[in-house]
Amino acid sequence: MLRIGRGAWGLVLLSAALQIVIFPLPGVYWLCWVAVAPLLVALLRARASETLQLDGHRQARLPATPWQGFLLGYVCGILWYLGTCYWLYDTMHRYGGVPAPVAVLILVLVAMYVGLYHGLFGFLVAVVAGRDGSQRRALVAVPFLWVVAEFALTRISAFPWELLGYAQTANPTLTRLATLTGVYGLSWEIMLVNSVFAAAFLVVRERRRWLLLAASAAAVILQAGQWITLPAAMADHAALLVQQNIPIQADWTRDYFENTLRDLTSRSVRSATDAGAPGKADLIVWPESPSPFYTSDPLFQNAVSAMARQAQTWVVTGSIGVEPAMHSGGRESKVFNSAALVSPQGEWVGRYDKVHLVPFGEYLPFPRLFSFAGGLTKEVGEFAWGTSRSPLDAGGRRLGVFICYESIFPDEVRQFAVQGAQALVNISNDGWYGDSGAWKQHLQQTEMRAIENDRWVLLATNTGLTAAIDPAGRVVAQVPRKERSVLVAPYALLSGTTFYTRHGDWFAYLCAIISAGALLARFGLPVAHRKPGKIAE
């Protein structure tokens, strides 16, 4: 078996580190333009025991074999996940009651699973390059192959966390591309620049300067969009987003339950009737939280109904929805992670049941195999799957409500807008993340959903960040984290749809088709002759 050079492993480590720091909380996002370039160089110069004679005195390393490419990409992906989603350990150990060694094991196993998609990318790059060492062909295909790997991660895995394009969420001019292509278009653009940087280190020195100059200029120009100020989005409605700040591990005695409910309702009513509020709020939103707020509990129902009547306002509240046994064919009751809609008359008129549940958090996949992780599931609950993404109708205002990590699935969120949602509401319990960077990472991905669908997003969280996000992905109002407070959040109802909203992941499918063409061409074209002084053909 051909040996992978030590230099290739060093480049993999460098690339993994760069891919970690471009996301929050380090958030050195401008490094995204070079973050994957070291991995590309490693993939295309991996074989240490076999070289290619380019002229009478110069040799160059050949690209990795397909399995070497997979291994290099796989290691990079594992390290990236461990460095970016390290907070998963604390979530399982501190809040899920999973013993520390088992929590570490689960984190590593999940990293090994998610890392497979980096491995898929490395494998595809090596296949396209081929044993003949066509670095140019591989570099041209790289942006398309990367999108294919991200698309597979989103559609197949349960955790497409922080795709590469999210690194540019705060660049309001560049992210206009997402209204056409979704986040995948941004990933493609970032990888295109990375490919040029990689090419600069794979060619002879005479051409390197020009490629570096071209890649640097592209990165600077594209990044400069961050400093271009777009016009403020017009808002003619106001919502009250209640940041409950309920402890994850609260001791829910009856007195604590009643006092918490009383405090939350009084704050909501007081804020709704406050004369100093900038315009009467027409919506109150309570987030997903660790509280035992069951829609079937008369105490909870009566309190929320009274609050809606006193405030004369529609209410969306995170809750535990229950489908009675008599509605489930005689079987035992189903329990859902839900968002209930209450009218200003106090009537419970609608409910959204979460469709995409969190594995190991809201259900336990393969219970016998993963019985050791039952502590986390027991802490949160064993929920049933919802079946509909229809907007909730709040007196003519159509609200697309999605819960917590559903915000990281682009095609799923857009379905609310396709079905007529005029504003999006994301309720989340980010208290599970503690003080790690996860809350900021989650916010970043939620902002992208606003951009893709040209919709306001009302983000109500248990511990923060609670915010109003405009259609350009900008946070225009927020309250401090880890405080019980109420945010008067401006928003507007929009009815137009973006190209991405209407056509979904067409760009990702196009990249898949082009990638398939590159793979077919790899096996269908004759080996090109190599010329001295140029990147290998």
382 among known catalytic residues: no
- The residues pairing with 359 across neighbouring beta strands, listed in sequence order, are 363
Q: What are phi and psi of 440, to 5 degrees?
A: -70, -40
Give the CA distances from residue 177 to residues 164, 185, 189, 314, in Å, rounded to whole numbers and listed in that order: 14, 7, 10, 35
Structure tokens at 192: 């295109």
8 Å CB contact between 323 and 333: yes
* Secondary structure of 34-57 in HEC code, one letter for each residue: HHCHHHHHHHHCCEEEEEEECCCC
Beta strands in 358-484 (DSSP E): 392-394, 397-403, 423-428, 457-461, 466-469, 475-479
8 Å CB contact between 168 and 28: no
- The residues pairing with 51 across neighbouring beta strands, listed in sequence order, are 61
Per the rule left: phi > 0, alpha: psi between -120 and 50, beta: everything else, 388 is: beta
Catalytically annotated residue among 404, 406, 447, 452: 404
8 Å CB contact between 510 and 518: no
Strands of 334-342's sheet in order across: 348-353, 334-342, 314-323, 283-286, 237-243, 485-491
Q: What whole-number distance in Å separates Cα of residue 476 and Cα of residue 430? A: 20
Beta strands in 159-256 (DSSP E): 237-243
Catalytically annotated residue among 32, 354, 452, 511: 354
8 Å CB contact between 106 and 92: yes
Structure tokens at 61: 């390393």
Catalytically annotated residue among 150, 162, 189, 288: 288
Closest listed residue to residue 481, CA positions, set 523, 442, 536, 526: 442
Is there a cis peptide before residue 465, judged by omega within 30 degrees of 0? yes
334 among known catalytic residues: no
189 among known catalytic residues: no
> Tokens 């074209």 — which residue?
525
- The residues pairing with 363 across neighbouring beta strands, listed in sequence order, are 359
DSSP 233: P
Residues that are catalytic: 288, 354, 404
